Structure 1
C-alpha cells in the first residue's frame, strides 16, 4: 500500500520483525523523508528512525548495503553512527540508528581551534575506516556530523547519513555526489574520482567551522567554481581536457601563447547552460587564496596566529584540485594541526626530551 494513505503521527508505533518503535517526536525532515525520535520497546531506549519517502526507495538497498559493510567494524571506533536495522511498515521504509545530539551546523559561532582539532581528528579516523572497507561517504558537510552528547561527552562526534555513500567499485565518472559548496572539482568536471572526494568535503567542513560560513559559494555550481578558481587557481589542462563537464564551466581561447582554458563569464555560462547565474552574495568576500583566511578576523596573539597558519596549511593539503595529490586520512592524522606538535608546550617538551 502507498504510504501516503497512512500519515504517521506522534504516538504511533512502527512495527519491525524484532520490536516496536513508538514515535515520540519528529526531529528532522529532508527531501528523503523524515527522522523520528522513537522509543524502542525491546530496549526501552530512544533511537532515531529515518523514514523514507516512496521516491527514495530505489536507493535504500545501496545505503543499507553500505551500512552493513560499515557495521562489520566497531562504529564507535571509527566514529560512525550505529545502524540497528531496517524494515517496511505500511509502505514506509524505516532505517533505525542510535540517537545522537545535534549537528555541527547548529554550533556556528561557538567554535575555536581547541574544538576544531578533535572534530577533525575524529572525522579523519572515520574516513580512514571507510577507506579500509573501500567506501566513500559522498556527502560530508556540517549537517552530517553530529555530536553524540554535548553535555556528557563534549565534542565527541560521529559521521551520519550514508544515503549518498558508494563502494569504490560502483562509482563511475559523471556521477553527481556532494552538495554544491562541498563538491570536489573532479565531481564537477566529470572526471574519475576516488575516496579523496571526502577529504575535499572534510576540508570544506572544517573551513566552515573556522569561518562560520561556507568557504565556497553554495548558491550555484558556477559561483562555486568561480570561488575555487579565484582561491586555488585553474584546474590543470589535463583535468580540463578529460573532464566530461569541463565545457560547462570553461572554454578554450587562443592568445599569443596558443590555446588556453579560461572560466566562462556569468553571461557565457548562462547562455551555454540555459540557466540564470545568481549574483555574487554580498556577504561572501572574494578570497584570492587560502592565505587570506589568516586575517579573516582580528588575531588575539602570536599563539593564535600560529594556530591559523598551521590550520591553513592543513586545509591546503585537503583542498588540492587534483584528487590524486590530496592528503590521505592516514597522512592527515600525522599533520601538525592534528598532533599539536607545533604548539609551544609541545616544542618545549621535545627540547627537554632531547636534553635527557
Structure 2
C-alpha cells in the first residue's frame, strides 16, 4: 500500500480519456490497492474509483471480463453495483463505479447497533437472491459473498436497498476447478473446504452466512481459524457424507480415518493433530462462544458472541 499512498493523495485529479475525477477521500483498501471517493468534475456526481496496483493486471482483466457480462443488465433492477468505466492513470488501472453509502458490516455497527429482526433482514435477502439468480443465469460465480460486499445504497431511504459489489474474485461457472481456494474463512462452503466440485451454490452458502450475521450480530462460523470453522460446521450440521470425505482433495486437512469395530470411520482431527499436519496452530474455542448442535439452536441465542 505504501506505493499508492506515496503517489495518490486527497485532492489529486485522476484523468480518463473523457472525465476528470478528483479524489475526496480514501474509503477502502485491500491487497489490490485502494478505493477512493471521487468527485466527477464535469457533473459534480460522486463515484467510487477502485485503484488497482500494476501487479494485479491479470486480476483486473478477469474482473473486467465479469463486469462486461454483468453490465448488459439493469444494475438497479438486479441489485448489482453499476460500473461506469475503466482507465489507466500512471501505473494504475482504475475502475469507476457508482458510489454506495456503506456495507452491511458498517450498517449493522453504526446504524443498527445490534442484531436485526427477521422482517428487517427479509428485504435484503430477497434483493440478494435476485442478484444471485441473475448471476447464475449468466454462468457467473461471485465466490466472495460476505457482509463487506453487500452495500446499502442509501440509509436515508425508507425502503432499504442493497447491492452486490466486488467482482474481483468472480469467475465463470464453466471454469470452476475442484480444490481451488475460494471464499473467506467463515463464509466458505463445505465443498470448497473439502476440495470438491462446486457450483454457483457456494454463493448461496455465503449469502446464508451473511444473513445469519445480521440476525446474530456476530459470525455464524468462526472467521479467524479454518479448523474452528470446520469444527462448527460438524457441530451444527453433522459430519460430511462418506463420499464427500473420500473424494475431497482437502479432506485430510481436517479429518482422518481410524479403525473401530465397524471398520474405518472418519472423525474430525483434534486441534493438535490439525496443527501437526497443516503446520498452522489451531486456535482454541473461545470460552464465551457457545457450542450449538443444530442450526435450530440459534433461535434461542440471546447474547452476542464473536471470534
1:6/1:90 contact within 8 Å kept: no
Corresponding residue number in structure 2 for 1:26: 26
So what's the TM-score if we normalise by structure 1?
A: 0.81
Deviation at 1:282, TM superposition (A): 2.9
- Give distance in 2, aligned partners of 1:57 and 1:34: 15
Structure 1 contact 189–245 (Cα < 8 Å) conserved: yes
Query: What secondary structure does 1:155 align onto?
Result: coil
Give the corresponding residue for 2:54: 54
Contact kept, 8 Å, 1:182 with 1:200, in 2: the verdict is: yes
| Aligned pairs (5 A) from 1:27-46 | 27-46=27-46
Over residues 118-163 of structure 1, what are the superposed CA-to-partner deviations in whole Å (9 max), with x where a residue is unaligned?
Answer: 0000000000010010101100011111110110354210001111
Residue 252 (str. 1) matches residue 252 (str. 2): no
Q: Distance in 1 between matches of 2:195 and 2:142?
A: 18
Could you tell me which residue of structure 2 aligns to residue 187 of structure 1? 192
Q: Distance in 2 between matches of 1:110 and 1:271?
A: 38
Q: How far did 1:199 drift?
A: 0.4
Alignment correspondent of 1:72: 72
CA distance in 2, matches of 1:284, 1:200: 22
Bigger radius of gyration among the two:
1
55-64 or 186-195, which moves further after superposition?
55-64
User: Could you tell me how far 1:57 is from its partner in structure 2?
Assistant: 2.5
8 A Cα contact 2:189 2:202, kept in partner: yes
2:53–2:91 CA contact under 8 A, matched in 1? no
Using the alignment, how far apart are the partners of 1:137 and 1:282 within structure 2? 34
2-structure distance, mates of 1:64, 1:242: 34
Q: Deviations over 1:288-316 (max 9, x none)?
A: 11011111129xxxxxxxxxxxxxxxxxx
> Displacement, 1:5?
9.6
Which residue in 2 is equivalent to 1:207? 212
**Structure 2 portions without partners, runs of 5+:** 109-113
1: CA distance, partners of 2:21 / 2:246: 53
Task: Kindly state the Cα deviation for residue 38 of structure 1 after the two structures are TM-superposed.
Answer: 0.4
Q: Which residue of 2 aligns with 1:273?
A: 278
- Secondary structure of 1:149's partner? coil
Instruction: State whether structure 2 residue 298 is matched by structure 1 residue 293.
Output: yes
- Following superposition, the deviation at residue 93 of structure 1 comes to 1.1
User: Quick check: 1:120 aligned with 2:94?
Assistant: no
1:167 equivalent in structure 2 = 172
For the residues of structure 1 that align with 2:198 and 2:216, how far apart are their CA atoms? Answer: 28
Q: RMSD across aligned C-alpha pairs, in angstroms?
A: 1.6
In structure 2, what is the equivalent of residue 138 of structure 1? Answer: 143
Distance 2:4 2:29 in 1: 16
Match of 1:149 in 2: 154
Q: In 1, Cα distance between the equivalents of 2:286 and 2:17? A: 51
Deviation of the 1:281 alpha carbon: 2.1
Aligned-partner Cα distance in 2 for 1:142–1:96: 21
Answer yes or no: is 1:225 the counterpart of 2:264.
no
The reply to whether residue 13 of structure 1 matches residue 13 of structure 2 is yes
Counterpart for residue 111 of structure 2: none
Quote the residue 1:234 is aligned against.
239
- Looking at structure 2, the residues matched to 98 and 53 of structure 1 have their Cα atoms a distance apart, in angstroms, of 21
**Aligned equivalents of 1:87, 1:257: Cα separation in 2:** 63
Q: How far, CA to CA, are the matches of 1:148 and 1:154 in structure 2?
A: 10
Structure 1 residues 5 and 239: alpha-carbon distance in aligned structure 2, compared to 1, 3 A threshold: closer
Distance 1:288 1:144 in 2: 29
CA contact (8 A) 1:182 1:204 kept: yes
